[in-house]
Structure 1
């Protein structure tokens, strides 16, 4: 974050892929390492060291060089502990790093930062293949692209259903996708391996398939697509209950509800901050300091300052 705090964002993780493209007057963000399917763009106006994207929001450039860029997003009424700071490196530098890392290798495993890209999404072809014949099942596997042989070989390592027909369809679609892959920078390798998980789902409101690359954990779908929405909803409810209890000066209940809110959603640091504040206001400095120390240990600068300024360090 801008104040130096560790990022706590329920929509962004250490493994999240984000690719920023900055042109003359447009800032585009792509979240897919394989294909720019989810790219969103913002128009901006360059004003000295800022990229203004709206009346209330802008990106401020802190440092720029030939291969790196540091900037933060400034939004009206947001404090520094909630403002994100971004550290960028040029994709050419990243490419050079991975080329050097894989020097003299013939068989490599692709990653989000170093992978061939497709001209169209494989999900489209898979959806067309299954049409209205969806069912609820998941598979995990990998496929190898052989640039010199111009072919792909798919292997399925796990399936929630022993459905040979559907598994055969998945393998056929991927095996026949060679022409969709841009293999620039990968021609020198004998094989490039990509792991993936596949999800077919049919409910009252949704039917379709999804694919996540660079993992063999089918539980990744809960993380990427839901993030445990039910727990987040319950956390929000407990947070509101805590506020109401605090307004009634029922500090014990307020602390209990803030604790439950944070337990259900560990990304909700506001629940911890409020819990500490209620402890402090009710005269329980010892537990307030324990909570501020917990926040500080999570890499939050404001929590560290509150602990330093209000707690006996001896």
Structure 2
């Protein structure tokens, strides 16, 4: 058993010009088009890398920026994240415990892979980038003879208001809302006619019981002033796929509610980064599970591992540890159920375990 805590990993770099790497190629604006784990797995519970929290990068001679993919469409003003970086050989040093390896670098493409002390290949990511200008040129080429553009994160209008809202209330200090908020979701297409200056919305998947709430949420999209069309002004009609989730959860300690809207995809993307409270609670349960395991209290260890990933669904090691102990105790069906779930989520190690032990 190993203790590996999930945490948000924002990459920080600094530059050394004496490096053997052709660092002039590195200094560019890079568009991310693929993420995978180093063992070939898909990033856990990540349905679409171009949701609003997955970032492309801009690198110049002294600074590194994480930017939302939509921000790459226009001139950047306020980068999401900025830091110094350090380039030594083919390694971008992030800290004494971590660095990024440049696996491929030329004037058009870049591949970076994570290295963090104590982490296994299934926990480390590999990032694939192409030069932003090439990604845009490719999208323009695909649509050069079309009046209607099916917008993507690399070629589409920019929506100015923030599209994700999350409220988290600690019920030890505050009281819950008087009325529980409804949970509903819907998706469809925003149809914008630039010539006529009209906006229409065609719903695809939705619950008719929430049509009033849906219409209220959609009001923001009908305002022309909320959009910037500078990058797509040569098209007559813009078709934008989108998804919207309005959520509410309540447990004994925390009340959470808000909205998640994602442009350029029909997927219902609610894969939040775990909150500090969720990570803290999940980690405490993970630690209790390890303690019970060391005391040979295996049933209790399973209970705590299961609670750990229920509170933080991205705690991948909690799933694996629960499956391993269940299998060792002869609870093959329980172990195989977990491995099968992880297999369906694209986890190679779980796929191997399932094929070896469950068929």
Verify: 1:271 aligned to 2:318, yes or no: yes
C-alpha offsets along residues 188-222 of structure 1, whole Å, 9 cap, x if unaligned?
32111234567899xxx9999875423568x65xx
Separation in 1, partners of 2:118, 2:125: 14
Separation in 2, partners of 1:268, 1:192: 39
Match among 68, 71, 86 for residue 31 of structure 1? 68
Separation in 1, partners of 2:234, 2:127: 33
Flag structure 1 segments of 5+ consecutive residues without an equivalent.
125-135
Maintained 8 Å contact 1:242/1:258: yes
Q: Aligned to 1:42, what secondary structure does the other structure show?
A: strand
Bigger Rg, structure 1 or 2: 1
Match among 29, 39, 53 for residue 4 of structure 1? 39
Q: Using the TM superposition, give the Cα deviation of residue 270 of structure 1 relative to its aligned residue in structure 2, in angstroms.
A: 1.0
Separation in 2, partners of 1:25, 1:237: 39
Separation in 1, partners of 2:357, 2:287: 32
Match among 161, 167, 170 for residue 122 of structure 1? 161
Residues 85-94 or 48-57, more deviating:
48-57
Maintained 8 Å contact 2:44/2:347: no
Verify: 1:14 aligned to 2:48, yes or no: yes
Residues 76-85 or 66-75, more deviating:
76-85
Maintained 8 Å contact 2:43/2:125: no
Flag structure 2 segments of 5+ consecutive residues without an equivalent.
1-35, 164-180, 248-254
Separation in 2, partners of 1:279, 1:229: 29
Separation in 2, partners of 1:265, 1:168: 30
Maintained 8 Å contact 1:145/1:192: yes
Normalising to structure 1: TM-score of the pair? 0.65
Q: Using the TM superposition, give the Cα deviation of residue 301 of structure 1 relative to its aligned residue in structure 2, in angstroms.
A: 5.2
Q: Aligned to 1:114, what secondary structure does the other structure show?
A: coil
Aligned residues: 287
Verify: 1:175 aligned to 2:191, yes or no: no
C-alpha offsets along residues 124-162 of structure 1, whole Å, 9 cap, x if unaligned?
9xxxxxxxxxxx799877544444x38352447589474
Inter-CA distance 305–245: structure 2 relative to 1 (3 Å threshold): same
Greater helix proportion = 1
Q: Equivalent residue for 2:94?
A: 53
Maintained 8 Å contact 1:195/1:213: yes
Verify: 1:194 aligned to 2:240, yes or no: yes
Maintained 8 Å contact 1:58/1:73: yes
RMSD across aligned positions (CA): 4.9
Normalising to structure 2: TM-score of the pair? 0.59
Separation in 1, partners of 2:217, 2:343: 49
C-alpha offsets along residues 42-100 of structure 1, whole Å, 9 cap, x if unaligned?
21022222222344432210111232111112233333332211111122232233223
Verify: 1:253 aligned to 2:297, yes or no: no
Maintained 8 Å contact 2:285/2:304: yes
Q: Using the TM superposition, give the Cα deviation of residue 110 of structure 1 relative to its aligned residue in structure 2, in angstroms.
A: 0.8
